Amino acid sequence: MIDTKTLTIEKAGEMLRKGKISSRDLVSACLRNIEERNGELNIFLEVFDDALEQADRADKMLKERKGEKLTGIPIAVKDNILIEGRVVSSASKILDNYRASYDAYAIKKLKKAGAVLIGRTNMDEFAMGASTENSAYGPTRNPYDSTRVPGGSSGGSAAAVAAGMALGALGSDTGGSVRQPGSFCGVVGMKPTYGAVSRSGLTAMSSSLDVIGPLAKNSQDAEIIFDCIRGKDPLDGTSIDLPPASPAGKRVGIPRDFLKEGVDKEVLANFEESVEKLKKAGYTIKDISLPYSKYSLAVYYIIMPAEVSTNLSRLDGARYGERREGNTVFEMFEKSRSAGFGAETRRRIMLGTYVLSHGYYDAYYTKAWKVRRAIMDEYRKVFEEVDFALTPTAPSTAFKFGERSDPLQMYLSDIFTVSANLAGLPSISLPSGFSSSGLPFGLLFSAAPLRDFSLFGIEKDLSKN
């Protein structure tokens, strides 16, 4: 019996290439876990009916010695990443039963590597949320405690890895949507440098912030997925090729002003314990100042809704998805969008439309972009002094369903993660132990742009102490 809850991609890949297990065996083990717990946890919106056929093709590649690191490895895919011929709804009724006409760039790379795409995972509608409570198809539950959220918006992908339903997963990160659920589910979640992974085939939420990132059991596995899906794509003008990996430094900066209010005591205690482990592992710890970063959340919740309102304006019921008839075209638009979009999506569209409207564009949107530039500049200066910036991933462990019903309370879940998106930084959440109630903690490391590979060695250093 293969234990997919503990088996890593690295170890499984080695076993596959040596013929000790087959991809069919591995995928079957994941499918058994899905069958046993998906009804309770609501992680997968769809399990692909050709998963075992994909596994058989991978086994053939392995027998012909054409296998790569991800050949035969079952990977879960967030429901906003396009797979040709498959439904991609972004967990929204307005795209119910919409089928993708092409593969996302990241999916092309996974298919070429021989990975097995096992199914599409639940998420907050159009990636708007920090709990996966906003899905039109019901919330996902945390595998550690089903009364609590898995985080969001990539909650289904994080929970799939934690529950052994896949060995790795793809999510998307706009303000922390890979890293925060990674923390809540006790797995590694990595947000690459903006542009390091093509956005081609990712359903757009906020185009200047969105990036596809991996979720996995450990940093080595996350690196394997990231190394596969990264690269410059002619279909995405913002995509880039990363420079070769260079030696990682060991200077860690901590913005102490960030940690004064609103952080759970157990989270802070775990954070300080982790800092001591870093010291023992030879890291130099230094306090840093990020005065503009205290405005990150405010800036994010101006720029992101503005881009949301623009990107989602194309979803009006006229061409695909939910459609309600009306006496006029505009009435049809209104009825279709009201029925197709959930409450949080409507809230952000209205907020974004407001900040872009005449008389408010300069007062809000233009000013937010000026502060965003200041945040980028201060990080650039900080990374001349240190190699990593360190905070907890989230101000709390996984909270109970309904506990953050106030939108402002929910938005505060992103307090530590949004600045990396605003500044385009690579950032990783690493598991750092458990609370007294058995819930995972996460540590958040961010590095200078293009220094993505420097993030993957930290976990190994931490595990030595």
pLDDT digits 0-9 by tens, 191-203: 999 999 999 999 9
Active site residues: 78, 153, 177
pLDDT at residue 93, rounded to an integer: 94
Pairing of the two strands 251-254 and 188-191:
unpaired
Residue 181 has pLDDT above 70, yes or no: yes
User: Are the beta carbons of 187 and 176 closer than 8 angstroms?
Assistant: no
Q: What is the distance between the terminal CA atoms of the chain, rounded to a whole angstrom?
A: 32
8 Å CB contact between 306 and 352: yes
Neighbour-count burial of 40, counting CB atoms closer than 10 A to its CB (0-12 exposed, 13-18 middle, 19+ buried): exposed
3-state secondary structure of 251: strand
Model pTM above 0.85: yes
Segment 372-429, tens digit of pLDDT: 999 999 999 999 999 999 999 999 999 999 998 888 788 888 999 999 999 999 999 9
132 within 8 A of 124, measured Cβ to Cβ: yes
- Asked if 445 contacts 428 with a C-beta cutoff of 8 angstroms, the reply is yes
Question: Cα angle vertex 460, ends 455, 464, to 5°?
Answer: 140
Q: With a cut of 80, say whether residue 464 has pLDDT above it.
A: no
Contacts of 54 (CB under 8 A, 6+ apart): 27, 48, 116, 117
- Give me the helix-helix angle, 9-17 and 219-229, nearest 10°: 70
Q: How far is CA 70 from CA 15, 104, 111, 155, in A?
A: 12, 17, 9, 22
Q: CB count, 10 Å around CB of 362?
A: 9
The tokens describing 43, both together, are: 């992680």
Domain spanning 9-229, CATH architecture: Alpha-Beta Complex (3.90)
> pLDDT tens digit string along 56-74?
999 999 999 999 999 999 9
The domains of the chain are located at 9-229
Average pLDDT over residues 346-369: 94
